[in-house]
Amino acid sequence: MIRPNPSPEVYELARCLGIESTDPAVGIVVHCRQLADRWVSEIGGVGPSGIQNIAAFESLITRKLSMVVEEIYAEDDFDRITNHYARGKSEYVFAGLRARFDDLENPAFGVLIQRNLALADDPDQFVAVVDCREDPSSEKYARRYFTKWHEIAHRMTTHRFPTDPAYRGEDDPIETLVDAVASELGFYEPFLGPELERALANENWLTFEMIQSIIEGVFPDASFQSTLFACMRLLPTPMVYMELADEPLRIQKILPNAAAYVHWKGLDAATCVDRVLCDREREDSVGRSTRICCGELVHRDSIFYRVASGNLLYDQIEHHLCDFAPPESDTYLGRFPSEQNISQAIMRPSHNHRGVLAHLQARRVPGKVIALLQY
Ligand SMILES: [Zn+2]
């Protein structure tokens, strides 16, 4: 996820990394991507004679960073890691890991440890430990792929030089930035781009089925949500991810991609009136519109409710109108937020805007309904 207007911590990190950019968050993501590109091209690029798949890409990146990834699938793995690092290499911090992963208040999903006693040419100077255990009360198993890339992204940014890493909460601007780097690398575009194009074929919209085929095709360990968000980042057309919950259904979360965000923020008043006028004529012939706003109730006769219940096929929603309320937070799924159009859009006030729905899919998952909206 991208948030415009980087924080002082992000500026400081960019400075430490020697990155000069008017937008340090963008500068850092681009810097990490270029570093990865350079390493890939050094050994023959992406393809049959070089890096063949995402697993080979991960091996290359971690090797270059002198780091290894340890995954915990079962309780025995804690003993294995303790034996190897605490008993074998006198790195005692590894003996206390279980407590950090099982902490009731704030359980860790992954940790990155810099070994104190490592030698300069040791391949395991940094060790990322990732909790991959299946537990109904947490999403650790589903998120294991993204957690791993999050720790690799830390190594490329906050843990680039010997430091004293601070604990950071989930909403910390540095954590958000590290997630952006993780998505850029974990869904490396030379693999994602062609696969997304293949999945889309001649369609103009992205479906649940296409996401699943992209996972199976190139990112076998990735979660549905992180793959979906990575695809939305690349998609040039407006797309909005929504979560709905409770009974009656209420919209809980709205996350636009960059193209939708620009529409939201960037339409000037004249364009807006124009569109509303011609849409209004269309509305008379096709029925109601839906207000897309956090906290908004979704009634039983709404298309969202009916699509989620399987009572309505998604190709029946053609020409339904959506009124997007101004987003309550400046967060969107983008890759490089300083793309000219977006920075201009951010300067302008946001307001309601209306889109003609081109595609809607909704699905019930435990505890909520997720919906993909394209217009
Ligand atoms: Zn982190």
Rounded Cα distance between 332 and 261, Å, is 7
Q: Which residue has the tokens 């003609």?
A: 356
Query: What integer pLDDT is reported at residue 358 of this predicted model?
Result: 73
The amino acid that residue 209 corresponds to is E
Percent helix, strand, coil in the chain, to 5, is 45, 15, 40
Q: Assess contact for 253 and 229: CB atoms under 8 A.
A: no
Query: What integer pLDDT is reported at residue 256 of this predicted model?
Result: 86
Rounded Cα distance between 85 and 125, Å, is 11
Centroid of ligand 1 to alpha carbon of 165 (angstroms): 10
Q: State the pTM of this model.
A: 0.84
Mean pLDDT of 51-57: 97
The amino acid that residue 243 corresponds to is E
Report helix, strand or coil for 201. Answer: coil
Rounded Cα distance between 143 and 186, Å, is 12
Query: What integer pLDDT is reported at residue 203 of this predicted model?
Result: 86
Compute the mean pLDDT over every residue in the chain, rounded to the nearest whole number: 82
Centroid of ligand 1 to alpha carbon of 239 (angstroms): 27
Q: Assess contact for 242 and 373: CB atoms under 8 A.
A: yes
Q: Where are the domains of the chain?
A: 43-169, 189-234, 239-374
The region of weakest confidence among 78-92, 156-170, 342-356 is 342-356
Query: What integer pLDDT is reported at residue 297 of this predicted model?
Result: 82
Centroid of ligand 1 to alpha carbon of 186 (angstroms): 15
Longest dimension (CA), the chain: 75
pLDDT band at 295 (very low <50, low <70, confident <90, very high): confident
Rounded Cα distance between 95 and 112, Å, is 14
Centroid of ligand 1 to alpha carbon of 173 (angstroms): 10
Could you tell me which of 121, 145, 120, 123 has the C-alpha nearest to residue 132?
145
The region of weakest confidence among 82-91, 206-215, 266-275 is 266-275
- Whether the predicted pLDDT of 226 surpasses 80: yes
The region of weakest confidence among 251-255, 309-313, 363-367 is 309-313
- Whether the predicted pLDDT of 372 surpasses 80: yes
pLDDT band at 288 (very low <50, low <70, confident <90, very high): low
Query: What integer pLDDT is reported at residue 284 of this predicted model?
Result: 37
pLDDT band at 324 (very low <50, low <70, confident <90, very high): confident
- Whether the predicted pLDDT of 15 surpasses 50: yes
Q: Assess contact for 27 and 21: CB atoms under 8 A.
A: yes
Query: What integer pLDDT is reported at residue 260 of this predicted model?
Result: 83
- Whether the predicted pLDDT of 221 surpasses 60: yes
Report helix, strand or coil for 147. Answer: helix
Rounded Cα distance between 1 and 184, Å, is 11
Centroid of ligand 1 to alpha carbon of 154 (angstroms): 7
Centroid of ligand 1 to alpha carbon of 271 (angstroms): 41
Centroid of ligand 1 to alpha carbon of 108 (angstroms): 9
Centroid of ligand 1 to alpha carbon of 47 (angstroms): 31
Query: What integer pLDDT is reported at residue 126 of this predicted model?
Result: 96
Rounded Cα distance between 28 and 17, Å, is 8
Centroid of ligand 1 to alpha carbon of 311 (angstroms): 41
Mean pLDDT of 199-211: 91
Query: What integer pLDDT is reported at residue 368 of this predicted model?
Result: 87
* % the chain with pLDDT above 70: 77
Query: What integer pLDDT is reported at residue 273 of this predicted model?
Result: 33
Mean pLDDT of 205-218: 95
Centroid of ligand 1 to alpha carbon of 153 (angstroms): 8
Centroid of ligand 1 to alpha carbon of 164 (angstroms): 14
- 207 Cβ contact list (under 8 Å, min separation 6): 359, 361, 372
Tell me the residue length of the chain. 375
pLDDT band at 340 (very low <50, low <70, confident <90, very high): very low
Centroid of ligand 1 to alpha carbon of 109 (angstroms): 9
Q: What is the pLDDT of residues 165-198, one digit of tens each?
A: 555 666 688 888 899 999 999 999 999 999 999 9
Please report how the helices 8-16 and 173-186 are oriented relative to each other, as an axis angle in degrees rounded to 10. 50
Mean pLDDT of 44-67: 96
Centroid of ligand 1 to alpha carbon of 175 (angstroms): 5
**End-to-end Cα, the chain, rounded Å:** 21
Centroid of ligand 1 to alpha carbon of 157 (angstroms): 11
